[in-house]
Every structure is written in structure tokens, then in C-alpha cells.
């Protein structure tokens, strides 16, 4: 099965949580191993953050890094659910994330972008989960909780960070979920009028 990653969240951390999708009522995992995580980093715009690639890791090391990344995603998704339900970020999540951040290992590097210089953070493959932890921490610390939303389509499990001026965005994507819900409502209204 060809995997199509979804980028509707308006932030790395939100798009990371959206690496599971709902298809015909079943949750489909898009990241089934560290190879998939590395492949996801490319369209997420973070492939340059990985130094050395994952090929130098043993199968056991790959599994460990993958499991740490997936544990973070599960806890981050639960934190997002808590925020969108109005309960705020659970303290247990902050303790977990702070513990992971204390273990984080990466380094900054100056890179040229045309005539300008920029600082980018790099991570060895064995510490790739640090990238995800740092991005999650950055998002959690800077987000406006009222702007983090779950898609209103009951057949969707995706989150997004509403950057619209009036904060009225309701769907992960108007092209998919928004249109589906509107067409479904129109169908049922039309059917009711015919009765």
C-alpha cells in the first residue's frame, strides 16, 4: 500500500500526530518503522536534520529509536485530545517531555541560505527522537490552546492548528473533510424535503 502523508496541521508537531489516519473506520498507521519516519521527514522539511542516516543503526537500535518516537506521538496525541476538549495539557505529559528533553542530544550548525546564514539543529540517527521532542516542546510552549483543533468531520481523526484570522476553521482540509460533510448535509436536507 502506498502511503500518502498528510500535512494539514500547520506545524511539525501537529503533522507528526497526524501520521495515523482513519480509512473506512479503521486507523491506518503511516509510520511502520524508522524507515517510514525518515521518509516522512523529507516532506516535513526536516530531512537535513538527520545526520548520517539510519543505515548505520543495528536493527535493535532502529527499533528502540522508532519506539521512542512512537511513544512520544501517542502521548502528544493524548495531550492534543485533552487540549481540544478544554482540559489543557496534562502535567504528566509535561513531566514525560521534560524527561525526554533532558536526554536529548543534537547540535547546532551554521548553514548558508543564499547570502544569509542560518542556524539549524542536527541529530544523529540514534538520537532522532530528540528532534521530535524538541519540536513538540517548541509547539506546546508557543501554541494558543484555542487554535489547536480536531477536525469536525466525525470520520476524521486529524488535528490542525488554526491560523485563520477569525479562528473559524472547522476542517482539517476543506477539499476533503469540509466538502464531504457539506455534501452529506445537503443530501440529507434534500432527501428530507422530498419526503
pLDDT value of position 189 = 52
Q: Which residues, at least 6 apart from 112, have a Cβ–Cβ distance to it below 8 Å? A: 118
Kindly give, in sequence order, each residue whose CB lies less than 8 Å from that of residue 140, ignoring residues fewer than 6 positions away.
13, 79, 89, 94, 97
Q: Are 171 and 164 contacting, i.e. CB atoms less than 8 angstroms apart?
A: no
Reply yes or no on whether the pLDDT at 125 is more than 60. yes
pLDDT attached to residue 176: 76
pLDDT tens, residue by residue, 37-58: 999 999 999 999 999 889 999 9
Cα 41 from Cα 33, distance rounded (Å): 13
Query: Which domains, from first to last, does the chain contain?
Result: 12-194 (1.10.3300.10)
Answer positive or negative: Cα dihedral of 28, 7, 156, 178: negative
Per-residue pLDDT at 24: 86
Pairing of strands 148-150, 159-161: antiparallel
Pairing of strands 107-113, 116-124: antiparallel
pLDDT digits (tens, 9 = 90+) for 12-42: 999 999 999 988 889 999 999 999 999 999 9
Which whole number is the average pLDDT over 62-88?
97
Amino acid at each position: 500500500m502506498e502511503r500518502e502523508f498528510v500535512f494539514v496541521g500547520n506545524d511539525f508537531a501537529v503533522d507528526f500526530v497526524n501520521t495515523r489516519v482513519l480509512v473506512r473506520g479503521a486507523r491506518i498507521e503511516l509510520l511502520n518503522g524508522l524507515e517510514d519516519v525518515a521518509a516522512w521527514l523529507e516532506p516535513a522539511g526536516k530531512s537535513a536534520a538527520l545526520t548520517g542516516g539510519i543505515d548505520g543503526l543495528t536493527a535493535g537500535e532502529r527499533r528502540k529509536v522508532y519506539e521512542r518516537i512512537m511513544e512520544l506521538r501517542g502521548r502528544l496525541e493524548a495531550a492534543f485530545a485533552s487540549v481540544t476538549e478544554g482540559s489543557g495539557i496534562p502535567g504528566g505529559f509535561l513531566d514525560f517531555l521534560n524527561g525526554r528533553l533532558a536526554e536529548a542530544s543534537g547540535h547546532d550548525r551554521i548553514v548558508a541560505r543564499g547570502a544569509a546564514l542560518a542556524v539549524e539543529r542536527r541529530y544523529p540517527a540514534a538520537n532522532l527522537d530528540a528532534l521530535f521532542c524538541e519540536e513538540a516542546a517548541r509547539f506546546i510552549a508557543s501554541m494558543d490552546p484555542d487554535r489547536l483543533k480536531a477536525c469536525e468531520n466525525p470520520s476524521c481523526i486529524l488535528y490542525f492548528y488554526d491560523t485563520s484570522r477569525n479562528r473559524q476553521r472547522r476542517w482539517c482540509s476543506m477539499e476533503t473533510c469540509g466538502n464531504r460533510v457539506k455534501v452529506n448535509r445537503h443530501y440529507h436536507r434534500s432527501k428530507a424535503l422530498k419526503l
